[in-house]
Chain A
Amino acid sequence: MPDILPFLKSLISVSGLSGDETPVANLIAEKWRSLVDEVSVSRVGSLHGLKKGSAKPPCPSVMIAAHMDGIGMRVSKIVDGFLHITNVGGIDPRVLPGAEVTVHATGSNKELPSIVVMPPARFLPESAAEGVIAIQHLLVDTGLRPREVEKQVRVGDLVSFANMPFELAGNVLSGHTVDNRASVAALTVCLEELQNKMHTWDVWAVATVQEEVSYLGAYSSAFALRPQIAIVVDGGFASGPGANGWQAFPMGKGVGLCIGPNMHPFLHKRLRELADRLEIPWYLDVTPADSGTDAFAIQITAEGIPTALVELPIRYMHTPVESVALKNVERAGHLLAEFVVSLEADFVDMIVWE
């Protein structure tokens, strides 16, 4: 099994917020260059890696997509050297007070180590001082003097989480943006495994942009590449403190294979049969309507694309301490690789509705 830990650690040590994925895209491109035949960038910034299959042209292709963007914040106003912020993606303001962040200052092209801070309740309107402090009342402090802040920071500048990766017990890696860099790592494991395996189909490894805000990367790459089928890899909810409902699954149970309207039942069936055969532990995750992933977008691209969803259980989703079990990253990567290998030249014709 390849050791994916150093790569995943590097992926969660950089920013790459929705709409500004370049820092992480560069890291991924560097890694994929030796694993695929061609690396290219889509018109909106998604990363495409093509690993060619052995079938005669026109070779069918499977797109495996994992979004690389992360949630964060953006400067909305500067007052007395303090920055007001707004959200990029689904930020939970409860995790922000005391969070270490980086302000990407476009005025000076510098990365400013900073903190998100919570003003005393008496500095806020009475209604805002109750309960969780809303994001519009939180501030970012760069530690610089006001004049210096005015020179370096502009409204619109991005603010990303800056805490370093934490290795927890049980081979669990914790940090910011594990959603969805863990899936990018799983996709990379898949590409590494495919180095020594024959596969008939072309594989498009895709790291998509802007999943957290609009699925822009999923829509556009699926359209540009027109794969015959697609598999999306994304984070699911791991059970743990605060998450014990039907949506959450123990980290030890393996990877999630999803059913629901966004997913093609035939692809799902193929994946679960394969997982059983390979003795890869998996659980059934159900998404009754919108899966909230790139699968939602890819399925309705062009004339429609049969799509499946593989999930990695992640604890504390959308916090700076998102945690994933490395074992599951490897399991997902292994399953994806074996799925690619299993694709027969005429697999498309086998996809049927019952």
Chain B
Amino acid sequence: MTLDTYARFGNAQLKLLEKLCNAIAISGDEGEVRKIVLEEVKPYADELRVDALGNVLATRLGRTKNRMRVMLDAHMDEVGFMIVAEDGEGIYRFETVGGVNTLHLSGKQVFVGRERTPAVIGAKPIHLMDRDEATKKVPLEALRIDLGPGGKTEVGERVGFATKFRRVGPSIMAKSIDDRIGVATLIELFRQAPLNVDLCAAFSVQEEIGLRGAKVAAQYFNPDLAIAIDSTPANDMPLYDGSENTTYNTKLGFGPAIYIADGSTLHDPRLVRFLQETADAEGIPYQFRQPGGGGTDSGAIQRSLAGIPTVSVSVPHRYTHSPVSLARLDDWKNTINLLYAALKRMTHELIAAR
């Protein structure tokens, strides 16, 4: 095994992920993450632009002859909220941006606007409810964001969970691991890009509200193939009656999740096989994401232009779109390693014929 079989991975990578997870970038307002990405990729980019939607599109050219154009995509945005109306006295109404389950919202701390004004989403005291009311879901229209008496913000401001990144044993706990862990992965791959490919890195916007940034990114890059790097739910929890969990999607600790089919894409079988063979050859653990619903930017990329061979690879995480998600560092490291090894092995034959 040569020294550069694997990508570098250590404290610097972890620090970057922490910075990315603590940043707030609700779909349509990705500025905080965009700023970090631009800083990180600028020294390595041969071409760098921020497009009309706010995507960061960075190209790093290889050195060998007959290189492939490979697009790697990771979305910068996260789910969150937008202030929609003022009730007075520091109390505001809000709507969700992206798929947030309102069951996660009562009793949570949030940051409002670019100034990160601290605020809370409260709940009616349990003492003031009868049994019937206490067992009912609280609808979004009954929830408020409370900045405190006299607190001020503007309608249209974005709001994100105030969760702080933590490392706990083999795991990390943070908000928006979906998809900052993909963004961190892509930054690392861009920095350490092998010379046999032209790497087209799309740090995309608005994935959570319909894969919108990736679509124009693919149209700009016009790559030979694309990989969407995302983070997919691991529903590997026990069932209430102790029976076998057959719908886990992915499991933590089992390595990067390679997609075969999801709600929006049948992933290119050549690329699925290629990733599998690469992982087997390099001894990198991996798992297949259970075929089913959901989706990533691959759904938009595959259908762009005249069609782009596309696959998805995800770092599994638990508790998606909630105030705190959880992922295993080993899964992340193995995802970087798998993608790095795959990039190094890529040749035009890979997609020459089906």
Contact = CB atoms under 8 A, between A and B. Distances in A.
Interface string A7-45: 000000000000000000000000000000000000000
A223 B173 CA distance: 47
A139 B236 CA distance: 12
B120 A97 contact: no
A113 B122 contact: no
Given A98-B319, A141-B318, A315-B122, A131 B237 contact: no
A170 B147 CA distance: 9
B109 A98 contact: no
Which residue, B103, B122, B127, B319, has most C-beta atoms of chain A within 10 A? Answer: B122
Nearest to B122: A316
Contact of A143 (B106, B238, B326): B326
B150 interface: yes
Interface of chain B: mostly helix, strand, loop or mixed: loop
Interface stretch (A195-203, A237-245, A295-303, A333-341): A237-245
B125 A318 contact: yes
B238 A174 contact: no
B66 interface: no
Interface string B138-161: 100011101111111000000000
A115 B123 contact: no
Nearest to A242: B124
Which residue, A115, A163, A251, has most C-beta atoms of chain B within 10 A? Answer: A115
A292 interface: yes
A142 interface: yes
A157 interface: no
Interface residues of B, number: 61
Interface string A102-128: 000000000011110111101111001
A124 B148 contact: no
B272 interface: no
Interface in A31-73: none
A167 B173 contact: no
A100 B322 CA distance: 11
Given A92-B134, A123-B245, A131-B136, A168 B326 contact: no
Contact of B126 (A80, A92, A142): A92
Given A144-B170, A168-B148, A319 B122 contact: yes
Contacts of A95: 106-107, 123
B186 to A, nearest CB: 24
Interface residues of A, number: 67
B90 interface: yes
B115 to A, nearest CB: 12
Given A237-B125, A316-B107, A316-B120, A137 B169 contact: no
A314 to B, nearest CB: 9
Contacts of A96: 107
Nearest to A128: B240
A212 to B, nearest CB: 12
B118 interface: yes
Interface stretch (A277-285, A320-328, A346-354): A320-328
Contact of A325 (B91, B123, B149, B323): B149
Nearest to B118: A166
A214 interface: no
A321 B169 contact: no
Interface in B61-117: 87, 90-91, 103-104, 106-109, 117
A270 interface: no
Contacts of B4: none
A321 B237 contact: no
Contacts of B237: 80, 82, 117, 119-120, 123, 139
Contacts of A117: 237, 318-319, 322
A166 B122 CA distance: 13
Interface string B301-341: 00000000000000000110011101000000000000000
Contacts of A243: 124-125, 128
Contacts of A174: 109, 118, 120, 148
Contacts of A115: 173, 319, 324, 326
B128 A247 contact: yes
A94 B163 CA distance: 18
Contact of A245 (B109, B128, B168): B128
B135 interface: yes
